[in-house]
Structure 1
Amino acid sequence: MRSIIQPTASSKTLNLINSHIPTPNHAQGEHLIQIKACSPCAGELLWPANFPPLAARTLIPCPDMAGIVTSAPEDSPFQPGDEVYARTNYVRPGNAREYSIAVTDELAHKPKGLSWVQAAAVPVSAETAWQVLFVHALAKGNGEEIDMEAAKLAWNGKRVLVSGASGGVGVWLVQLATFLGAEVVATCGSRNVELVRSLGAKEVLDYRVVDLKEWAQLSANKVDFVVDCVGGKALGDTWWTVKDGGVVLSIYQPPLQVCPDGFKGDSITDVFFVMQPVRRQLEEISKLIEEGVCRGLVDSVWPLEQYEEAFNRLDGGLTKGKIVFDLSLNH
C-alpha cells in the first residue's frame, strides 16, 4: 500500500513509500480500515521530536480519517463494510496510507450525506471543540463533562471570544458555542470575516486591524471565556478581553506562558488541554451534522502524491478549514 512517512522524529520533510498492510489485533479492539480520505493537523510533524514516546512508532501523519471497516473484532459495533470516521490516537501511526488501524473507542459511524472528504475534515476539530465546551471550559480544567441540556443552560448568554475562528477547530467552536446559546466574538483575517459571521459569530474582528487591548477598554466588550486556537502573541492579546472571574483556555499552549506584563485581572482561570478521541462524543457530533446544526469545512483536497504541496499549504497558516487527502485521486 501507499503510505506517507516522516523518516525520523526530527525530519521536516516526508516521503511517499510502499509499505505492508498492517495486521489488526482484534483482542485489543483493533479494526483494519480501508482509508478513503485523511487529514493532517497543523504542526504535527513537530510532535515526535517534542514528545519522545511518539518517536518510537512508525511516523505516519494524519490523525483524522474516514473509511470502510475491512476487519473487526467479533463483538465490535463496527463490522466489515461499515462506513466510519475517527481521530485515531497519536500513540499509533496515523492514517496517511491506504489501510490503517483504529480501535473501538475512537470510531464513530460516518454521518449520512457526507462524502469521504467531508467526513475526514471533522473528527479532531469537532471533538476538540466539543471538549472545550462540554468538558474543560466550564469545569475550569477539572475534566467533568456535562450533557447537552446542562451545556445549553451553562452557555446561554455567555460571551465567548474565539481566536483563529476560521481554522479547523475555530469553525466548530463558533458553530457549537452559538448552538448552545453563547454570544460569540471571533477573530480571523479579513478574507474570512464573512465566512465566520455566517457560522454564527455575533461580532468578527480582523486581527490585523483590531487591537484587543484597546477594544477591551470598553467594559461591554469584555468576555466570560477566551478560547484560543493560535497561541503566541494572539493568545497573549486575548488576556486583556476576559472579565474578572473568567476563563482563558488555549488548545495551543498553557495561557500563563504568554500572560502580558501589566495584566491586572482578578481570579482568572487558565486552562490548557490536549484532546483525546472519545467515540461517544463523535457519535453526538454525527447527529448534529445530520440534523444540519453544524458542518465541517474543507480548505482544499489533494492526492497523496502531492503531500509536499499540501503540507506547505498547511504550514502557511492561512487555511480556511481542513486540508484533506483523497485517496481515490491519482491512483
Structure 2
Amino acid sequence: MIGTKFDGTGKGANKLITAASGGVGSYAVQLGGHHVTATCGARNVDLVRSLGADEVLDYKTPEGQNLKNSSGKKYDYIINCAPAVPWKTLKSSLSNEGLVMEVAQPNFSILMAFIWGIFTFSKKKIKIIVVSLGKNDLQFLAELMREGKLKTVIDSNYPFDRAQEAWAKSAEGHATGKIIVEM
C-alpha cells in the first residue's frame, strides 16, 4: 500500500514499531528496512538498537508517549504491538496516507477507528493483522535466520509443568522477546 516490503526493498518509508522489544516487535525491527523508529522500555533501548532500529524511544518519556521521532517526520506506517496506544496518538503520528498495522490485541479506540475507517474515505487507515505464514514466508524467514540476519530474542524458558507461569508472564506485557515453553 505504501510501496515498501519487510525485506527492505521497494520505496523508502519512515516506520514506527511500538513495543519493539517484545516477541513480535523484535522481529519487526529486524525486518524493518528503511528508517525504523521503535519504542520500548528504558531497559531495552540498547537491545532494540542492536536489532537495527535507527532511533529508539523510551515509551515512558514524552517523546515516546507521543511517538515523536527526532526528525519530526510523520510515519508512513506503524506496526503497533502495544495494546495501550490509543488511536488518537497513532493517527496524529501518521503521514497523510499512513497505515497502522495493529498486531496487538486491539483496544476499544483501535476497534472503533477500524470500523470508522471502513465507512469513511480517510486516507489514514488501520488494518488489524492476523498473521498466517505460508511455506514461502517460512522459507524466507528460515533463510534470514541461517544467514544471521534474523535472530530470536528469548526472554525465558519454562518447563511444560510451569506453562501457566509462562502465560502469566506473557500476559504482563513486559517480556523481552519470546517466552519458551518446553514440551
Task: Please confirm whether the aligned pair reaches a TM-score higher than 0.5, indicating the same fold.
Answer: yes
Instruction: Pick one of 197, 215, 240 that aligns with 2:92.
Output: 240
Q: Distance in 2 between matches of 1:304 and 1:163?
A: 30
Residue 30 of structure 2, aligned match among 147, 154, 175? 175
Residues 1:293 and 2:176 aligned together: no
Match of 2:10 in 1: 153
Report the Cα distance in structure 2 between the residues aligned to 1:270 and 1:147, rounded to whole angstroms: 18
Match of 2:158 among 285, 294, 302: 302
Q: Give the aligned partner of residue 176 of structure 2.
A: 320
**Is the Cα contact below 8 Å between 2:6 and 2:32 reproduced in 1?**
no
CA distance in 2, matches of 1:268, 1:222: 12
Q: Secondary structure at the match of 1:314?
A: helix
Taking the TM superposition and a 5 Å limit, the aligned residue runs for 1:152-301 are: 152-154=9-11, 157-178=12-33, 182-211=34-63, 212-213=65-66, 215=68, 220-233=72-85, 236-252=88-104, 253=106, 255=110, 257=112, 267-301=123-157
CA contact (8 A) 1:167 1:319 kept: yes
Q: Report the Cα offset of residue 309 of structure 1.
A: 1.7
Does the 8 Å CA contact 1:226/1:249 hold for their aligned counterparts? yes
Aligned-partner Cα distance in 1 for 2:179–2:20: 16
Letter in 2 for 1:247: L
Equivalent-residue separation in structure 2 for 1:248 and 1:318 (angstroms): 22
CA contact (8 A) 1:233 1:258 kept: no
Q: Is the 8 A contact 1:166 1:192 kept in 2?
A: yes
Find the structure with the greater CA-based Rg. 1
User: 1:192–1:160: structure 2 CA closer, same or farther, 3 Å change rule?
Assistant: same
Q: Does the Cα contact within 8 Å between 2:15 and 2:36 map onto a contact in 1?
A: yes
Distance 1:315 1:256, change over 3 A: closer
Deviation of 1:213 after TM superposition, in Å, equals 3.8
Q: How far has the Cα of 1:223 moved from its partner?
A: 1.4
Q: What TM-score, normalized by structure 2, do the two folds share?
A: 0.81
Q: Contact between 1:232 and 1:258, CA under 8 Å: does it hold in 2?
A: no
Asked whether the 8 Å contact 1:197–1:204 carries over to 2, the reply is yes
* 1:188 alignment partner AA: C
* Alpha-carbon distance in structure 2 between the residues aligned to 1:290 and 1:283: 10
| Structure 2 contact 19–25 (Cα < 8 Å) conserved | yes
Q: For residue 288 of structure 1, give the secondary structure of its aligned residue in structure 2.
A: helix
Identity, in percent, stands at: 30
Cα root mean square deviation, aligned: 2.7
**Residue deviations 1:161-204, cap 9 Å, x none?**
101101111011100113xxx10000111111111011111111
Structure 1 runs not aligned, ≥5 long: 1-136, 140-145, 260-265
SS in 2 for 1:320: coil
- Contact 1:228–1:235 (8 Å) recurs in 2: no
- Secondary structure of 1:244's match? strand
